[in-house]
Every structure is written in C-alpha cells, then in structure tokens.
Amino acid sequence: MNIKRTIFLTIGCISLAIGCIGIIVPFLPSFPFFVVTVYCFARSSKRMHDWFVGTKMYKNHLEPFVNKKGMTVQTKIRVIVMVTLLLGLGFAMMRNVPVGRLILAIVWIGHVFYFIFGVKTYEKPVAAAQDASIQS
C-alpha cells in the first residue's frame, strides 16, 4: 500500500472515531468528521468506503446531504448552534486580537448564510421518523 493511501486511511479512521464520539457528546459535531471520513475512505480503500456508506451512521447523518437533498431544520439548527458556540469561544479568547475577532466573525457569518441559504431544507418522512424512534 502506498503512503498516500495509508495517510488517507488513517485520517479516515481517526475522523470516523471522532464522529462517533460526536454522536454522543453534545458539543462535538459529528457531521464534518463523517464528511472527512467519506472523503478519505473514497481515496484510500473502496472496501472501507463501501462499508461506511452502508452503515446506519452514514444513512442517518450524511446520505441526504450527499444526495443533494439537504438537511432537516433540526440538523441545520444543531450545526449553526455548534459553530456559534465554538467560534464564540475562539472570539472570547481573542480579546486582545481584533483582527482575529474580525476573521472569526466573517467565518461565522459565512457559515450561517451557507446553512440558511446554501443548503436545502427538507422534511424528514413521517414513516422514517417513526421507525427511527422505535429502533432507538
């Protein structure tokens, strides 16, 4: 196996682990880590990519977004709240760095606009929502 594939596979496994932790820990978003996992697995191992795409984690968290359907309102709100909290923490820590605060504010505005206007909003089908609550 060449070095590039090994690096992508390692990063994919690490981001998968962090994404799984993010499902449980409320302040750690799982979505961006699962995106990195899909990207890295697609470039490193077809078998790992096919496995991950077949998992319930992928189907629940990424499949609608990857298929260009968008996100539910609840998912958008969760992502925006997490981005706001994390960037707010950085903003508070950069008390003496006004340029850093300005950059974080611009990044925050970009994230909010992207998730509100750039990502489609869809409703979760009622049958799927009931099946998910029964299985949980």
pLDDT tens digits for 46-72? 888 888 888 887 887 777 777 767 777
Residue with tokens 């690490």: 14
User: Residue 121 pLDDT > 80, yes or no?
Assistant: yes
Q: How many CB atoms lie within 10 A of CB 39?
A: 15
User: Does residue 1 have a pLDDT over 70?
Assistant: no
Give the single-character DSSP code of 123.
Answer: P
pLDDT of 18 higher than 60: yes
68-87 average pLDDT score: 81
pLDDT above 70: residue 91: yes
pLDDT score of 13: 92
Helix axes 31-44, 3-24, angle to 10 degrees: 160
Q: What's the mean pLDDT in 11-35?
A: 83
* pLDDT score recorded for residue 118: 82
% of the chain residues with pLDDT over 70: 88
As a 3-state breakdown, the chain gives helix, strand, coil percent values, each rounded to 5, of: 80, 0, 20
The predicted-structure confidence for 26-48, as pLDDT tens digits, reads as follows 667 777 888 888 889 889 988 88
Q: In one letter, which amino acid is 121? A: T
